[in-house]
Every structure is written in C-alpha cells, then in structure tokens.
Amino acid sequence: MHKVFSRFNGPCLDRVKDSYNAFTGLAKFHRPSGALFKQSAVKHTAPDLPEMPPCSFTPEEYKDMSKERMMEIRRQYCNPMTMKVTYYKKPVYIHQGHMQWLWDVDGRRYLDLFAGVATVSVGHCHPKVTEAAEKQLRKLWHTTNIYVYSPLHEYTEKLAATLPDPLKVIYLTNSGSEANDLAMLMARLHTGNFDVITLRGSYHGGSPLTMGLTSNAAYKYPVASGLGCHNTMCPDVFAGPWGGSNCRDSPVQTIRDCSCPQEFLCWNIPLIYFRSSITGSCTANDKYIGQLNEVFATSVASRIAAFFAEPIMGVGGAVQYPKNFLKDTYKLVRERGGVCIADEVQTGFGRTGSHFWGFQGHDVIPDMVTMAKGIANGFPMGAVVTTPEIAASFAKGVHFNTFGGNPVACAIASSVLDTMEEDGTQQISHDVGTYLLTELAKMRDKYEIIGDVRGKGLQIGVEMVKDKASRKPLPPAAMSEIFEDTKDMGVLIGKGGVYGQTFRIKPPMCITRDDADFFLAVFNQALHNYMEDHH
C-alpha cells in the first residue's frame, strides 16, 4: 500500500482515506499545486490527488495562438455547432499528444481515456505509425484509385487477412458515416429491397442517409432523411424492460435478478413458457426478439434490405445485448431477404479484447462490415468489406471516391495493423480492460449512483443513475460535475447514451495497469466529491 502524504490532519485526512477505502494501493497521491492543478467548479474540500504515472516524453513548448484568441475565432468563424459540441465548461486546449497522453497549451498532462472518440487506436503520434506517414509523404501524397499504386493493394490484402471468408472485398472511404452510407446503398442494390432496421439509441453517422440509421433524437433534424429506416427496441439488459444477471458476454453482469425460469417444470403451464430453461436460451433475449418480430409484422415490407448493429453500442452508451440476440436477429433478417451489417467503427481492431472484430464475440458472420476511426489511428479513413456477390451488385453502376484509398491513408493504416500485432494491443485491451471492468464493478457496489458497468476490453460504459432501484438516468448537471472534476484531476473520458447518462471509457490501446489505477483513483475521488456535496 502506498503511503499517503497530506497537508490535512485528523478528520479531514480520515475523510480522504475513507474515500479511497476500496482502492488504497491503486495509486500514489500528490498535493495539488501549480499548473498541474486547477480547482474544480465543484465546491468541496480539496484532497490530495492521485499521482499521475510517469512519462518520459517531453512535449514542445507551446508558442502558438492564445487560448482567448482561439476561443474568439471558434465563436466568430466556426459553425456554431463546433461550439455546441465543445467538451467541458472550461475547455481543454490541446497542444500535443504522445501514446496515451495529451498536453494542453499550459503544459498540463492528461491521461486520455477517450482517444478522440475511440479513434486513436495504438497511441497518439505512435513513432512507428508517424514514421510510416512521413515516409509516404516524401514519395506520394495523393493519387486516386483510377491508377494502380502499391499502398492501396498492400493494405487491402493485409486487411482482408483479418476477416473470415467470404468477407474479402474491400472498398475504402474517408469516414464511418460514409462507410455506413455506402453499405446501405449496397444492401439495397443487392437485395432489391428498401427497408433497413437499426436499434433504438444507435448511432451510425451524420450523413443524410445515415441520419436515418441513427436512432437518437439529439442527432435528428426536422427534415426528411434516411427514408426507409426503422428501429426496433434496443435489447438493453440493464435499463430495458427485460434483463438479468447472466445475459451478456462481459466480465461484469447487471445488478438485475435473472428473469429466466428456474430449473424446474410445472407441467400444467404451457411448455413454451419454459423454453429458456429447456434450451438454455435467455428469456430477456426472447422478449427483445419478440419486439423485432413486431417490427416485421407492423412497420416494414415482407422483404427488407438490411439490419445494422454495432456489436457493442458506442455513442449509445456501450450497451451490450443478450448473448444470442445478434445470432437470432441475423437468422430472422436473412429469412426476409435482408443482409446483416456489422458496424465495427468503434468495436473493431481488437478493442473488445477477446476478438479482433466485435461480431466474432457473437458467433456470427455478417454480410458486410463497416469500419473507420481506429483503422488509421485518427487519420481520416473508413472501409466497407463485403462478399463478392454483394460487391458485384454494386459494380453495376459507377461510384467514385476521390480520397478513399489515398496512399498516405493506406500507408498509415497498414502500419497500424503491423503495430497492433507488434505491440499486442488486443491482449492489452483484454487484460487492462478486464481489470478496469472488475474494479469499476466494485465501485458500482460502493456508490448508489453507479447503476451499471459493462463492456469488453477497452470498450467500457459506466451508466449513472439517480438510484439503483429506479435505474433512472443521473441528470445532466450531475453528470457534468463528475465529468469536470475527473478532467480537473487529469483524466479525459467521454459521455454517451440517449440521455447522456453513461461515461464512456475507450482509451488508446496502449494504456497500462498503472494508468488504469490512476483513473480508478481519480474517478473514485470525483464520485466521492459529488456524493459529499449532494448527500
């Protein structure tokens, strides 16, 4: 156990120690001082703070535009949407990044547990990837796939090798929205059908077509978009109407009692009632599949084009489904002439730890896979991977993408795949992610306002609630307090969920156990501060 040094004595020191009761030994502590500490907007007694793990990298001294001038330009010349989505009441002014670390213009270091929205996969400015980018920039910045050039073909062959048959035909794009937009078009062309189904609470992009796939009012506008898109109930086993303690593929299950029947039969009740105990399936899953069948019966034509789903929701709040939900859904969709599309924009490239692709954890093979974000460690790139048959349907017309498969993007993406293998990022995701989930579950048991901890690997969600009995979302103001306090202590995380009630933890896949311990201590202190101030 690390020794605690404090300027506080007596009850005040006891209060700090008590707040770390479940996590003593996780991290060292230091006194808040200088540029490394900014007082949180939350009014509470400042404790000694966890000590940030060491970092040998030294950032360049910031000499560019002032914070005031940047914000003035942001307000005057950037679209108001840029200001609307700016994180934090006191924004973070980022200057430089290295691996899992970011520095602001004042030289303060942050542990980045959001990775540019689950995008920086192997680390900020990873030396190997940076070297590959520089090497390609000296040879050829840009040409298009109307010509034949090595980086495009080296990368597509390497990417295809990570996917199971028959998913071997690749079309490169610039973003996840563009990839999902294109996948929808390809599905409709191939099937000859129009209707597409997604899950409520999902996010699949912001283009005019993908805004229809996205099922969250915050991203909707009062204009026609995404015609032919429908949604079914999200099979959320924590907040949804059905769920239990053994539903999902995660090191951590929900606090809800299982709704499946016990291991006995009462023969005077219809046998179908006991299908779960007989076949080993899940009652919650059966109920959510029943909701999908309602959509088939009421909202779409008898033949559909596609079903879209992330293996684990991203923006939707790291929601996980019952173990057989995707397998059962894929079967029903294919019976109705549709294709199944796995949106791996956030779950792909080993982030879930157990598999390289999130869909593999569900024991399914989709007809199309879309990807972006971590594909090139933050360089703009995306892809649609599909079967030869579906690709042939797309080839009946002409589609051209100026920047898709750009030689610099391909060189970077190729280096990312190599780096993932060399650095063992999938194993890091599994090991550190499982540790984080397990420790966060202990924190859930300690705090009434943590309703659920879920995820796999480094795709983690912590759902905050007013109380565990109601499972109602913690209000935005309360979320903001904890969010800001966590940032003020040196850790950047994200938010998601339909009501913004879920903290999202999706760091670069190079973080260490020491980094995890630092975050756990910081997050624990932020929760302790909130509870002390409001209860």
User: Are residues 438 and 498 both part of a single domain?
Assistant: yes
pLDDT for position 280: 57
CA–CA distance, 65 with 205 (Å, rounded to integer): 32
The region, left, alpha or beta by phi > 0 then psi within -120 to 50, assigned to residue 186 is: alpha
pLDDT for position 262: 62
pLDDT for position 249: 95
CA–CA distance, 7 with 10 (Å, rounded to integer): 10
Q: How confident is the model at residue 259 (pLDDT cuts 50, 70, 90)?
A: confident
Does residue 34 carry a pLDDT above 50?
no
User: Are residues 135 and 257 both part of a single domain?
Assistant: yes
User: Are residues 344 and 356 both part of a single domain?
Assistant: yes
CA–CA distance, 450 with 474 (Å, rounded to integer): 9
Where a domain ends, among 402, 423, 444?
423
Average pLDDT (277-306) is: 89
Q: Supply φ then ψ for residue 386, to 5 degrees.
A: -150, -170
Range of the domain at 234: 127-269+280-423
> In this structure, what token pair is assigned to residue 9?
């004595």
Length of the chain: 535
Residue 38 in domain: no
User: Are residues 149 and 101 both part of a single domain?
Assistant: no
pLDDT for position 260: 85
Look at residue 1 and give its three-state secondary structure. Answer: coil
Asked if 483 and 459 touch (Cβ cutoff 8 Å), the reply is no
User: Are residues 97 and 242 both part of a single domain?
Assistant: no
3-class SS shares of the chain: helix, strand, coil, % to 5? 40, 15, 50
Residue 245 in domain: yes
Q: Each residue of 356-407: pLDDT tens digit?
A: 999 999 999 999 999 999 999 999 999 999 999 999 999 989 999 999 999 9
Where a domain ends, among 379, 398, 423?
423
Residue 42 in domain: no
Residue 108 in domain: yes
User: Are residues 288 and 436 both part of a single domain?
Assistant: no
pLDDT for position 22: 40
Average pLDDT (215-219) is: 94
Give, in degrees to the nearest 5, the angle at Cα 27 between 24 and 33. 115
Residue 9 in domain: no
User: Are residues 510 and 369 both part of a single domain?
Assistant: no
User: Are residues 80 and 189 both part of a single domain?
Assistant: no
The CATH code of the domain that includes 331 is 3.40.640.10
Domain count, the chain: 2
Contacts of 133 (CB under 8 A, 6+ apart): 379, 408, 411, 412, 415
Q: Each residue of 410-460: pLDDT tens digit?
A: 999 999 999 999 999 999 999 999 999 999 999 999 999 999 999 999 999
User: Are residues 186 and 253 both part of a single domain?
Assistant: yes
The CATH code of the domain that includes 523 is 3.90.1150.10
Strand stretches in 275-395, DSSP E: 306-309, 339-343, 368-371, 382-386
Does residue 534 carry a pLDDT above 50?
yes
Query: Whole-prediction pTM value?
Result: 0.89
Return the sign of the alpha-carbon dihedral for residues 29, 30, 36, 38.
positive
User: Are residues 447 and 504 both part of a single domain?
Assistant: yes
Where a domain ends, among 399, 423, 447?
423
Residue 497 in domain: yes
Residue 292 in domain: yes
Which residue is associated with the tokens 């030994």?
25
pLDDT for position 380: 97
User: Are residues 242 and 326 both part of a single domain?
Assistant: yes
CA–CA distance, 93 with 86 (Å, rounded to integer): 11
User: Are residues 153 and 115 both part of a single domain?
Assistant: no
Residue 29 in domain: no
